[in-house]
Structure 1
């Protein structure tokens, strides 16, 4: 029997400047997703929640609230980028390039821009840019961020609160 660990995040040595991570899977944003996010975050702007109001807007229909699009794209990047991070340090740039509508499917890709070891030597700072792309191939969201990650030597092990030998006893 072979046991497979799902990769989740990366350590400093795993990042190479210029590498691109194509995150999977994409997510179709439903009207329900948008309305729930608006209600949870108390963003009650009628462009997101009122069909009649949105029909009068330049977009002609409801627009998904930008913070949902950003949160979704950021979340898609976590398994490939920051899932093992010490800390998310900053979002330097955030741009909503085009509107996202109910029923759009969003995909995400991240490119490594820079990496440098900190003075402590057991961690480093990685700069990345991430793009959210809809099903028409249009960029709808873009952001740059910096993440602090462990080096391979300093990274804590992935452990579970139970004895692994007990799980598959026959």
Structure 2
């Protein structure tokens, strides 16, 4: 065995899986989270997302069309805005494991344009134990804002969330 192989084997033996995210008991109704990552959405993100999802609405892929309909440039596809803000919340809210149950009350508040940076914050709306042992159902209200602090989207979502025991 070479010294490099020995180093790799030693590091592998020391590696430990750490639980990620929060558990059901961490989600007291009223608790607020300010999700620490922001994400700048680019024109390339918008074009790639729109074409890969077969979302060919010309508002999101054709600058002349978007301008003819009152936009200063091509706005970001709202589904990309939703997925980005949702994704920003995962580490704090649902990364601990448990099936996604759905989204309710989704509202798009302001258009997002390439170059805007999105941020997310969430509040626990409800938490109750589930009929499935070892899980609870948690509902959060998540709001996404741009770099100016202007809210651009909000929604509620629910997940099954593992309990500690």
What TM-score comes out, normalization by structure 1 length? 0.83
Aligned to 2:4: none
The CA deviation string for residues 65-102 of structure 1, in whole angstroms up to 9 with x for no partner, is 00000000111111000101311111112111110001
Distance 1:103 1:4, change over 3 A: farther
Aligned to 1:13: 25
Aligned to 1:129: 141
Offset of residue 7 of structure 1: 6.3
Greater than 3 Å deviation, 4+ residue runs: 3-7
- Equivalent of residue 116 in structure 2, options 95, 104, 109: 104
The CA deviation string for residues 20-74 of structure 1, in whole angstroms up to 9 with x for no partner, is 1111210110000000000110111111111111111122321100000000011
Residue 7 of structure 1 contacts residue 79 of structure 1 at CA under 8 Å; is this kept in 2?
A: no
What TM-score comes out, normalization by structure 2 length? 0.86
What is the root-mean-square deviation in Å for CA atoms of aligned residues? 1.7
3-state SS of paired residue (1:132): strand
- What are the ranges of 5 or more consecutive residues in structure 1 without an aligned counterpart? 154-170
3-state SS of paired residue (1:60): coil
Offset of residue 129 of structure 1: 0.6
2: distance between equivalents of 1:105 and 1:4?
A: 34
Aligned to 1:166: none
Q: Which has the higher helix share?
A: 2
The CA deviation string for residues 84-130 of structure 1, in whole angstroms up to 9 with x for no partner, is 13111111121111100011010000100110012344210001010
Aligned to 1:149: 161
- What are the ranges of 5 or more consecutive residues in structure 2 without an aligned counterpart? 1-14
1: distance between equivalents of 2:121 and 2:37?
A: 11
Matching of residue 76 in structure 1 with residue 88 in structure 2: yes
1: distance between equivalents of 2:71 and 2:114?
A: 12
**Aligned length, in residue pairs:** 151
